[in-house]
Amino acid sequence: MSRIALVAGMLLLASLLGGCTSGPVAAKPAPRSTVSTSAAQTVQVVPASSAFFRYEGRFDFADTSAPGIVWQASRISLDFDGDRIHLLFDDAKGQSFFNAQVDGSNAIIGIHEGSSPTNVNVSVPGNGRHHLRLFKRSEALAGSVSFRGVELAPGAKAWTPQPPGYKLRMEFMGDSITVGACNEDGDKDQWANRRTHNAALSYATLTADAFDADYRNFAVSGIGIATGWVQFKAGEAWDRIYPDPASPRASLSTWTPDVVCVNLGENDYGYPHWNGQSFPTNFTSGYVALIRDIRQAWPGAHVVLLRGGMRGGAHSDLLREAWESAVAQLEAGDAAISHFVFKHWTKNHPRVADDRILADELIAWLKRQQFMRPYL
C-alpha cells in the first residue's frame, strides 16, 4: 500500500474516533446513522469504521471499513444489546486466532487464508446489554485478517465501552518467548496450528495485567538482533505496521509507552548454534543501535533490557558477554535504561506455567524500581 493511502486512511479513522487511532475512545451517545439494518430486517450491522469500536493495538487502518488486525494482543471492544452477535472478517492471510469474549465468557475462533468472507457467531447470554472483547492470541508473523464489523439482532443498539482504568502504558518487544509461542502445547513445540500459541497468557500480558496497563506486544518468533530464524532483523521491523521491513512505518506518536521491555538475543545464540556458525560479532553494536532508536522514538519512556527465558539467555556465555557489553554502553549514557535477567528458563518454549513464573519475577523486580513508583 502507498504511504499516501495509509495516511489518508488513518486521518479518516482519526476523524471518526475523535483524533485517536489506537487508544481509548470516550463514551458518547450512539448516533443512529452508524448502525444500519438490512433491507430484509434480519440483522443490524455495525461497520468496522463505527466510532463505537475501541481499537487497542497497531492496526492497518489504510482501509477504515476493513482495518487489518495484525499484531498479537491487539484488542477490539464494543458494547451492544440483543441476543446475538456475529463477527465479520475478510481477506485472511495465514492463520489468525482470537479470544472472543462476551461478558467474560470466552470462545476461541480461528480464521484461515483461503476462506471466503467470514461470519462468525459468538454465543450471547440472552438479551440485555453486553460487552464484547476480541483479543488476537496468535502472532503477527503467523497471519493477519481484515475486520469488517459485527452483525447484531434487528433493532439492537451499540455503544462505545467505558474507558478502561489504565494506570500506565507498556510495550513489549522480543521473540517467541515474549509472543507466547507454543505456551499451550504439550511436551513438544509445534508450529503447524497456532491455536495453542496464546499471547493472552504470555509473560508480557500477565505482567501488563498486574499493573493495570494498556500495552502492546511487538514480538516476532525467530527474530534476532544480528541473525535468527527469520530473514529480517529486529531493528528492521519493530516500528512497522506488519512484521515486514517492506511494510509502511507505523505512526509512533499516536500511542506512546511509559515503559518499554525488550527481550532479544535468544535467536542470535540459537540459530548459529544449531547451524554450526559462530556467534555474530555485530550483536552488541546492533543491540545498542536498536535501543537508541527506541529511545529516540519515545524519549519519555523508561527502557528495560531483559535477558532469558530459554537456554541461550540462561547459559550462553557468548550471548551474556555481548549483551552485558551492550547494556553497559547504554546505561552509561542514559539514566532511563535499566536491565533485568530472568532466573527461570526452559528447554522448550515456555508453557503457561513458565510464563507465570517469568511474569512473577519481572513484576516483583518492577515493583522495586523507582521509575515505577508513579504507577503503583
* Interatomic CA distance for residues 31 and 106, integer angstroms: 29
Confidence at residue 239, expressed as pLDDT on a 0 to 100 scale: 98
* Interatomic CA distance for residues 38 and 33, integer angstroms: 13
Task: Please state the rounded mean pLDDT for residues 251-257.
Answer: 97
Task: Please state the rounded mean pLDDT for residues 171-185.
Answer: 98
Q: What radius of gyration, in Å, describes the C-alpha atoms of the chain?
A: 21
For the chain, the residue count is: 376
- Report the chain's terminal Cα–Cα distance, integer Å: 42
Cβ atoms 262, 305 nearer than 8 A: yes
260, pLDDT greater than 70: yes
354, pLDDT greater than 90: yes
Band (pLDDT 50/70/90 cuts) for residue 43 is confident
Rounded to two decimals, the pTM is 0.88
**CATH number for the domain whose boundaries are 168-375:** 3.40.50.1110
Where do we find the cell 475486520? 147
Three-class SS state of 173: strand
Dihedral of alpha carbons 296, 301, 303, 309, sign: negative
* Interatomic CA distance for residues 146 and 91, integer angstroms: 6
Give residue 363's Cα distance to chain centre: 19
pLDDT in tens, 265-301: 999 999 999 999 999 999 999 999 999 999 999 999 9
Cβ atoms 75, 57 nearer than 8 A: yes
Enumerate the domain spans of the chain: 3-159, 168-375
8, pLDDT greater than 50: no
The dihedral over CA atoms of 352, 194, 223, 21, expressed in degrees to the nearest 10, equals: -90
Cβ atoms 130, 95 nearer than 8 A: no
143-152 and 44-47 strand pairing = antiparallel
Band (pLDDT 50/70/90 cuts) for residue 333 is confident
Confidence at residue 122, expressed as pLDDT on a 0 to 100 scale: 94
Q: Spell 80-118 as b/e; 16+ CB within 10 A means b.
A: bbbebbbbbbbbbbbbbbbbbbbeeeeeebbbeeeeeeb
* Interatomic CA distance for residues 183 and 171, integer angstroms: 20
168-174 and 143-152 strand pairing = unpaired
The Cα-based distances of 5 to 248, 255, 363 in angstroms read 10, 20, 41
The Cα-based distances of 89 to 142, 146, 150 in angstroms read 17, 6, 9
Mean pLDDT over the full length of the chain? 90
**CATH number for the domain whose boundaries are 3-159:** 2.60.120.260
